[in-house]
Amino acid sequence: MSGVPVPTTTEVARPRDARATSPARPADGHHEPVISTHRLTKRYGTLTAVDRLDLEVYQGEIFGLLGQNGAGKTTTILMLLGLSEPTDGEAWVMGLDPAWEPREVKRRVGYLPDAVGFYDGMTGRQNLRYTARLNGLERDDGEAAIDEVLEQVGLTDRADDAVGTYSRGMRQRLGIADALVKTPDLLILDEPTTSIDPIGVVEILELLRRLVAERGLSIMLSSHLLTQVQSVCDRIGIFAAGRLIGVGTVDELAAQFGDGSAAIEVGLELSSPADRERAGTVLRALASVESVDPPSVGRDTWRLHVRPAGAEGRVRQDILVAAVDHGLRLTALRPIVPSLDDIYRTAVERPAPKRAGIKPKTIRRPDAGRGQP
């Protein structure tokens, strides 16, 4: 977890002034935090929606907030935008405190709300024009910005149709255009891919990647869809019951939350059940192999679970040797990268320390035979 910022004790003692001089923060602009929170807390009565959140998002990265519905993602986002007041703790967005300077924050941060809505009777362009005016863009600047963002999200030819005629995916893209009209430094997207068909999702994720590359902005997005977060985010924070239980890249999270085992996928050309039997015996006999799953419905490869995880490379070599020795023909041999799915499940199931006011949610395990996505 080397790249994950952990608040130091000096920061806790002097939160504001320590920031600029703190040696933990690299001096070059690329790694300035655009979002940083310190023990940010939101309580609704006895319910703690966000519990002492420490989070940092750096410039130029795509950060994913991952969690189930009700885990506190939207509440966190609303506090970052100054739309909801924190019960305790503090947040800094673009160096500003959103609780005190919400308008300054909102001028620089583009926000796509969960289930974004538009004025259906107005055209896409008119909707964007309204947002541009509210951001104080003069006529010419505003129109130029609108044309640019419409082009970027690929809505130029539908821009003058009423929003009521748009598909769900188009509305979502218009929502991103709406967040971009003010030329923000930071985009906060709440569930940008919910209820969109798979092709639309790919389009949106590609768009986000392109935006970071072209505009150099930072993006924070929340989602409960793991594979999407995994494919687009540089770093991921896992949220459960109002607490951030893990932050880092997929690899870092795997190291943190993995159960110490690794998996290898092996494909073998087998003609008879007797061959299968023999192959199973051979694979099970290898050192460090904990268990072997034979091919099942929907999956024609074997799966080997290796413990400890560090022995995975050697085991792959052993498989190759054993296959040659026993005359087995290999069709596939590759290590399985732990998916965020697995990490997430482990992370959420691991008992989190001291949860105030909230019962830990139980997660149903998917069927054992389920394949990797």
Partner 1 sequence: MSAATVPSGTPIPTETEPESRLRVPSGGWRVIAAKEFGDHILSVRFLALLIILGLAAAIPLYFAAGQIRELAPQATGQKAVFLALFTIGSADYSFLIVSSFVAIVAPLLGLAFAFDAINGERADGTLPRLVAQPIYRDDVINGKFVAGLSVILMVLVAVVGIISGFGILRLGIVPSPDEIARLVAWILVTAVYVGVWLAFGLLLSVLIRRAATSALVGFGVWFVLVIFGSFIVDLIAKTVSPITGSTIDTALPQAQLQKFITQLLPGNLYSDVTDVILNPRLNPSARLPGSIGEAQQAAQQIPNAVMSIGQSLLLVWPQIVTLVGLMVACFVAAYVAFMRQEVRA
Buried-state track 152-167, b at ≥16 Cβ within 10 A, e below 16: bbebeebbeebbeebe
Task: Give the shortest CB-218-to-partner 1 separation in angstroms.
Answer: 9
Closer by beta carbon to partner 1, 149 or else 283: 149
Contact pick of 115, 144, 324, 332 for partner 1 (by CB under 8 A): 115
Cβ pair 87, 42 in contact under 8 A: yes
Closer by beta carbon to partner 1, 183 or else 256: 183
Determine if residue 296 is left, alpha or beta; phi over 0 gives left, psi from -120 to 50 gives alpha, anything else beta.
Answer: beta
Amino acid identity of 125?
R
Task: Give the shortest CB-110-to-partner 1 separation in angstroms.
Answer: 8
Closer by beta carbon to partner 1, 182 or else 235: 182
* 68 belongs to the binding site for partner 1 (CB under 8 A): no
**Interface region with partner 1, contact rule CB under 8 A, candidates 3-11, 127-135, 269-277, 314-322:** 127-135
Of residues 78-97, which lie at the interface with partner 1 (CB under 8 A)? 78, 81, 83-84, 92, 94-96
Cβ neighbourhood burial of 357 (10 Å; 0-12, 13-18, 19+) = middle
**Interface region with partner 1, contact rule CB under 8 A, candidates 116-124, 251-259, 268-276, 328-336:** 116-124
Task: Give the shortest CB-73-to-partner 1 separation in angstroms.
Answer: 12
Instruction: Give which of 76, 110, 87, 100 is closest to 16, Cα–Cα.
Output: 100
Contact pick of 111, 239, 257, 302 for partner 1 (by CB under 8 A): 111
C-alpha triplet 40, 106, 133: angle, nearest 5°: 165
Contact pick of 103, 354, 359, 364 for partner 1 (by CB under 8 A): 103
Closer by beta carbon to partner 1, 114 or else 147: 114
DSSP code, position 102: H
With H, G, I as helix, E, B as strand and everything else as coil, classify residue 26.
Answer: coil
Contact pick of 61, 143, 148, 185 for partner 1 (by CB under 8 A): 185
Task: Give the shortest CB-49-to-partner 1 separation in angstroms.
Answer: 11
DSSP code, position 222: E
* 341 belongs to the binding site for partner 1 (CB under 8 A): no
Closer by beta carbon to partner 1, 133 or else 370: 133
Instruction: Give which of 174, 82, 60 is closest to 127, Cα–Cα.
Output: 174
* 116 belongs to the binding site for partner 1 (CB under 8 A): yes
Cβ neighbourhood burial of 317 (10 Å; 0-12, 13-18, 19+) = exposed
Q: How far apart are CA 291 and CA 288, in angstroms?
A: 9
Cβ neighbourhood burial of 345 (10 Å; 0-12, 13-18, 19+) = middle
**How would DSSP label each residue in 133-146?**
HHTT--HHHHHHHH
**Interface region with partner 1, contact rule CB under 8 A, candidates 26-34, 287-295, 334-342, 353-361:** 26-34
**Interface region with partner 1, contact rule CB under 8 A, candidates 29-37, 300-308, 333-341, 348-356:** 29-37
Residues in touch with partner 1 (CB under 8 A)? 16-20, 25, 29, 32-34, 59, 74, 78, 81, 83-84, 92, 94-96, 101, 103-104, 106-108, 111, 113-121, 130-131, 133-136, 175, 178, 182-183, 185
